[in-house]
Structure 1
């Protein structure tokens, strides 16, 4: 996907960031997306700027991420399947006692980095399971970013 910004004076730039979104929101520019294909590419005007910003992660979207904007109450433990507990990244199970759900690992990783300093791997697999104690989430976290268990 390629993003294009066209300013009111006709200047064209490739790549769109949060600043370009703010300019489009204020009417100083328009945003476009190019969907590349094998034989042609299609150009789309981005007309729902709020939805676009939520999709890019610039504006928090509680409905799609499952995460409220608050300090999360988190419990964690080393995963039963962890084979190398001294590795840089380890598998952990996480519970959110605040009632939130993890629907978007990237959004959860941002929250946990800013709130607790966790470094969660967002490129690997993750999952969830419902159990008697609530829903738990399995993910990989940099071992040194986690607090020492009590």
Structure 2
């Protein structure tokens, strides 16, 4: 039985779902698991094939990862403005400490960020990487974050390592 096609599922394929398990079958028959940049490079070079197991409620399905471009965009290997909401440029941002409960001894502080440049944050990990590179910010990606819209635009509530913030 042949695996299903991940490409056929299009953008709905859960490339980054926690329950999606990746299997890499190497040219020599070795089998490994995981989804990293090196696995992508090997698959592009044709020295291995990537498969994904998408678990369902009653059974799991095996998919061939046959759209490596979508895989790379979903995993942040290639930038995807549509998926992330973020252009590849230096973001013009305004930020203030949020008025919510703040512990002055906490290494992280809550801030409200507005992207004056017109971008939107759809993917926190991508925004965190861009802010680390552009401003030295260490944005927490393991916790919750949110947004609210108003007359001044959309403000994003994030947690950032206090010592990394600079005015």
Q: Same fold (TM over 0.5)?
A: yes
1:60-98 deviation line (CA, Å, top 9, x unaligned): 110011000111111111111133244211111101111
Q: How does 1:1-150 map to 2 (within 5 A)?
A: 1-36=20-55, 40-147=59-166, 149=167
C-alpha displacement of 1:114: 1.4
When normalised by structure 2's length, the TM-score is 0.81
Write the distance in 1 (CA, Å) between the matches of 2:110 and 2:145: 9
Write the distance in 2 (CA, Å) between the matches of 1:125 and 1:12: 35
Structure 2: 5+ residue runs without aligned partners? 1-19
Write the distance in 2 (CA, Å) between the matches of 1:110 and 1:39: 37
1:5-58 deviation line (CA, Å, top 9, x unaligned): 112232222223111111111222110112345764422111111111111111
For residue 125 of structure 2, give the secondary structure of its aligned residue in structure 1. Answer: helix
Q: Output the aligned Cα RMSD.
A: 1.7
Q: Which is worse superposed, 99-108 or 31-40?
A: 31-40
Write the distance in 1 (CA, Å) between the matches of 2:149 and 2:55: 40
Write the distance in 2 (CA, Å) between the matches of 1:48 and 1:36: 20
Structure 1: 5+ residue runs without aligned partners? none
Write the distance in 1 (CA, Å) between the matches of 2:58 and 2:112: 45
Matched-pair contact (CA < 8 Å) for 1:82–1:90: no
How many equivalent pairs are there?
148
Taking a change above 3 Å as real, the CA distance of residues 130 and 38 of structure 1, as seen in their structure-2 partners, is closer
